[in-house]
Amino acid sequence: MGLLHEIQQAVVEPGHDLGPILLKLRLLAAKLGSKPLEEWVTHESEGYPPDSQVPPYREVGVSYTGLFIGLGGYLQNAQIPGHLVEEYAGSQWTRYVLRDGVSVIDDLVRSATEHGRSPQIDASNLMLLLNGKVYEGCTCNGVRGTISAAALVSVQNAVRSRVLELTIELERAIPGAADVAVGSPETKTSDPQRVTQISQQIVYGDVMSISS
């Protein structure tokens, strides 16, 4: 069985971690001669560097709760409306770019599922920006930002979906792609530019470059 079909089989069967699947896809990308596709797979496996372009599916929503003190009492774990966060701090606070590799995301999903621990982000600076602006007469003494487990699962599914779509399109468009196997040389029938075009369209869309 060639690499391409091994990847397809693993990605559609439940229980397979994404890490080994991406390793096989990285090898396939190398044998097809597409550096940009290799880069995407590497970033998904190891994480996206701060200066690299991140695909839209890795942008997830963040919800906030806070501790507010005033008027002779306090509000603990009080919900902070997202529109107020955007108004006083900017929309970058309600949309978080997830740069971690898939193994980290897998661990976060497992932790959330088994222990009910949803991942949190550092929101200490947000406390200063929202102070006195959420509940009238109350001081903001703490803010907690939370990413839902469902959002993380959505990222996992997005990666799986793109890996499957990539292999399907490569099989259709690149002669000999399905015959590439471990130990075989770089295929002479490959069209690296076409591989990159397919990858760009599936991962980032028509108008964005896959290269970091």
Closest-CA residue to 151 (of 67, 65, 62, 77): 62
Residue 14: the pLDDT is: 81
Residues near 181 by beta carbon (within 8 Å), at least 6 away in sequence: 1, 2, 3
Residue 206: the pLDDT is: 54
Residue 185: the pLDDT is: 62
Residue 1: the pLDDT is: 72
- Sign of the C-alpha dihedral, residues 44, 50, 54, 56? positive
Residue 188: the pLDDT is: 54
| Residue type present at position 188 | K
Residue 207: the pLDDT is: 42
Residue 210: the pLDDT is: 40
Residue 118: the pLDDT is: 85
Asked whether the beta carbons of 93 and 85 are under 8 A apart, the reply is yes
The rounded average pLDDT for each run of 10 residues, N- to C-terminus, in the chain (212 residues) is 91 88 94 92 95 93 92 87 93 93 92 84 88 87 92 94 95 88 65 90 66 38
Closest-CA residue to 68 (of 16, 130, 7, 20): 130
Residue 146: the pLDDT is: 94
